[in-house]
Amino acid sequence: MKKINFGFVGCGWIVQKTYLPILKQMNEATLYSVYDIDEEKAQKCAVEFGIKQVFHSVDDLLEAPVDAVIIATPNCTHEAYARKAIMKNKHVICEKPTVLHTSDYEQLQEAAGKQKCLFLPAYVNRFRSEIMELHKILNGGILGNIHTVEAGWIRKCGYPSLGGWFTNKQYAGGGVLVDLGPHILDIALTLFQNRTEPVKATLETWYKNYDLSQVKNYSAQWYDGDKGLHYDIDVETSAFGKVIFTGGKILNVRLSWNAPVEHDETYFVVTGEKGKLIVKTLFGFSTNRADELNRIEVLQNEGNSTTIVFDDVAKEQMKSFNRLCKYIIGCILKEESPQEITDNGRNVVKLTELLYQNEKAKRGDMEVF
Ligand SMILES: NC(=O)c1ccc[n+]([C@@H]2O[C@H](COP(=O)([O-])OP(=O)(O)OC[C@H]3O[C@@H](n4cnc5c(N)ncnc54)[C@H](O)[C@@H]3O)[C@@H](O)[C@H]2O)c1
């Protein structure tokens, strides 16, 4: 059987927590090489996971017989690494928010097409059980024509390291909208059938002032990545977006790292001409859940209602990374380009850019909820 040689550009928190342990278990994958700006970390990681080679530069890594690279570095570096990798005929799996500008995304997509390699946004939450079920239900046409989607990911205290690169605009490209936003927008945009172009987009954002002596207490309890206070904190911590598409379809998005709530939650409320579907869940690794279970409720206008419950919530995020890795391997082995995911990835970047163009920024915490 042909084995796929994976190279890792960046071996930080997400790579060590998910891709490396998962791909190590998969017969079709070889953990071939790693490059990280922090060479000591790369060396340690190579020893821990049995990665064959550590490289001193991304160019060296790309000269090696690597079939696919997983890019998981600070957001501002994704575009240049993806471009280099594609030009060396490597399949590219790029962590969210992929890139920050639509024009860059389109160039990468085109280059990947020419070089006959994948350019795949790693949208893991598509592979969650309740999200796969959501699509199955909607594909059956139970809601009729869908006109409104409300979606959100709200955390009580879930900064992925306050004061690290995630909360600095130069490195991250933005705040919660580029961190949690891509996961939500990727799914939300696929819920409208025959979705058209946005005609209006508005974004309200909140920028908090910090007591820097307390910074360590603000970080998410599950994130043990870069804990240092290295950079200015200059990105939005909460964001409300509203998008109107031609034909009047509406998307409302709410995102926060620090909302005035007791528990973290992720939700989708999908309304169509025949009823409503509600997904109540929690993406990511937070354990601050309101409910022990994830649920889908379907409420039909004629009065019928159904609830589907998903247990095993603690393992769901790792299961979805597992499915993502299998999916990546399947695409590479079958030489199949995942057109829908890649095209939707472009729409996510485009909408994010549009929302930021129409941003109305405020100081402080998100007060309404
Ligand atoms: N899909 C998800 O659920 C998920 C979760 C967390 C993070 N992410 C994404 O994954 C990426 C990495 O996030 P993380 O949490 O692992 O961050 P991290 O800070 O833990 O890891 C980033 C790694 O990149 C290295 N690095 C920094 N600058 C570099 C450069 N110029 N070249 C090479 N290496 C460099 C760092 O040394 C570090 O090891 C981000 O884009 C983030 O948005 C996705």
Nearest atom within ligand 1 for CA of residue 122:
1
- Predicted pLDDT at 116: 94
Ligand 1 centroid–CA 121 distance in Å is 14
Does residue 90 contact residue 7 with C-beta atoms inside 8 Å?
A: yes
Ligand 1 centroid–CA 118 distance in Å is 20
User: What does the alpha-carbon distance between residue 368 and residue 270 come to, in Å, rounded to a whole number?
Assistant: 22
- Predicted pLDDT at 86: 98
Domain spans, the chain = 4-122, 126-320+348-363
Ligand 1 contact via 124 beta carbon (within 6 Å): yes
- Predicted pLDDT at 368: 66
Give the tokens for residue 140. 């059956």
Ligand 1 contact via 11 beta carbon (within 6 Å): yes
DSSP state of 219: B
Residue nearest to atom 29 of ligand 1 (CA): 37
Residues 6 or more apart whose CB falls under 8 angstroms from that of 77 comprise 10, 71
Nearest atom within ligand 1 for CA of residue 36:
34
Ligand 1 contact via 121 beta carbon (within 6 Å): no
pTM: 0.96
If one residue of 15, 19, 33, 36 were mutated to test the ligand 1 pocket, choosing by the most ligand atoms within 8 A of its CB, it would be: 36
Ligand 1 centroid–CA 163 distance in Å is 14
Alpha carbon separation from 349 to 123, 178, 192, 325, 326 (Å, rounded): 13, 9, 17, 22, 25
Ligand 1 contact via 126 beta carbon (within 6 Å): no
How many helices, marked H, and strands, marked E, lie in the chain? 13, 15
User: What does the alpha-carbon distance between residue 56 and residue 330 come to, in Å, rounded to a whole number?
Assistant: 30
CATH 2.10.70.10 fits 126-320+348-363, yes or no: no
Helix, strand, or coil (residue 266): strand
- Predicted pLDDT at 369: 60
Residue ranges with strand state E in the chain: 4-9, 29-35, 53-54, 68-71, 91-94, 119-121, 146-154, 198-207, 238-245, 250-256, 265-272, 275-281, 294-300, 305-310, 359-363
Ligand 1 contact via 210 beta carbon (within 6 Å): no
DSSP state of 197: -
If one residue of 95, 159, 223 were mutated to test the ligand 1 pocket, choosing by the most ligand atoms within 8 A of its CB, it would be: 95
Ligand 1 centroid–CA 160 distance in Å is 11
Residue nearest to atom 39 of ligand 1 (CA): 12
- Predicted pLDDT at 202: 98
Which amino acid, one-letter code, is at 11? C
Ligand 1 centroid–CA 13 distance in Å is 7
- Predicted pLDDT at 32: 98
Question: Each residue's pLDDT tens digit in the chain (369 positions)?
Answer: 789 999 999 999 999 999 999 999 999 999 999 999 999 999 999 999 999 999 999 999 999 999 999 999 999 999 999 999 999 999 999 999 999 999 999 999 999 999 999 999 999 999 999 999 999 999 999 999 999 999 999 999 999 888 899 999 999 999 999 999 999 999 999 999 776 789 999 999 999 887 777 766 677 777 777 666 788 899 999 999 999 998 899 999 999 999 999 999 999 999 999 999 999 999 999 999 989 999 999 999 999 999 999 998 999 999 999 999 999 999 999 988 789 999 999 999 999 999 999 999 999 888 766
Q: What is the DSSP string of 31-56?
A: EEEEE-SSHHHHHHHHHHHT-SEE-S
Nearest atom within ligand 1 for CA of residue 81:
32
Angle at which helices 181-191 and 339-357 pack, to 10 degrees?
110
CATH no. of 4-122: 3.40.50.720
Ligand 1 centroid–CA 58 distance in Å is 15
Ligand 1 centroid–CA 172 distance in Å is 10
